[in-house]
Homo-oligomer: A and B are copies of this chain.
Amino acid sequence: MDLKIKCDEILGMESRYRIHFINSLSGFKSANLVGTVDKQGRENLSIISSCFHLGADPALMGFIVRPHSAPRHTLENILETESFSINHVNRDIIKNAHQTSARYDKEESEFLHCKLTPTYEENFQAPFVKESKVKMGLKKEEVIKLKNNTELVIGKIELVILPEYCLKEDGFIDIEKSETICVSGLDSYHGTQKVCRLSYAKKDKALEEFKN
């Protein structure tokens, strides 16, 4: 049977219950670790599930920072250095990645406390996560404050690092091969299994299905 839950019932939910409920609604989400460093060299790492594609020319990526959430230090560092990395969470580092959402002080590196390894690339300031297989280096493009005090961070992709075996001949990256996982709600982690790739949709033309 279907439940129909109205606006006032959502407002009446107990706060933690509502957070689980609303966070589950958008569907499966990407799981990424954002790596930053401040001017004093203090590293920060934070899991985000709101990373999205914003454009391919120029190559832009965005993510959301909510008020008082763990990624606040991340945002401060991005404003300070304009540099950040986005690193896919894979099956082997789910717990490490989830642990970065705990409230650590700015002096404490999540890399250290969550047992992940910072690595650096030439001419790029922010640290990457060694254990992550698909990773990007970005430069801050814009930070936009939205109505409910969340902030939208937009970055331009400067560098992409990925295993050669993930890159297909049409430019598609097979992120199942990198064991990239996805998340639902606040805390549920999922592996994936490809159903199919579909051809470019055109009016009055049947879709073709590609199994690999």
Contact residues in B for A88 (Cβ distance below 8 Å): 27
Q: Bound complex: CA of A136 vs CA of B99, how far in Å?
A: 31
Known: A3-B162, A27-B32. 15 other contacts (CB 8 A): A4-B159, A7-B159, A11-B57, A22-B157, A26-B51, A28-B175, A29-B30, A29-B53, A52-B52, A94-B198, A101-B201, A146-B154, A187-B197, A190-B194, A193-B193
- What 8 pairs across the A-B complex have the smallest Cβ distances? A27-B30, A20-B171, A17-B171, A24-B173, A28-B182, A190-B192, A102-B201, A21-B171
Report the interface size for chain A: residues with CB under 8 A from the other chain: 114
> For residue A54, which residue of chain B has the nearest CB?
B150
Please give the count of copies of this chain that the complex contains. 2
A200: nearest residue on chain B (CB-CB)? Answer: B187
- Chain B residue numbers with a CB within 8 Å of A52 are 26, 29, 50, 52, 64
- The complex places the Cα of A23 from the Cα of B30 at a distance, in Å, of 12
Q: Who on chain B is nearest to A20 by CB?
A: B171
* Main SS at interface, chain A: mixed
Chain A positions 131-166 with a Cβ under 8 Å from a chain B Cβ: 134, 136, 141-142, 144, 146-148, 150, 152, 154, 156-164
Determine if A167 and B27 form an interchain contact, defined as CB atoms under 8 angstroms apart.
no
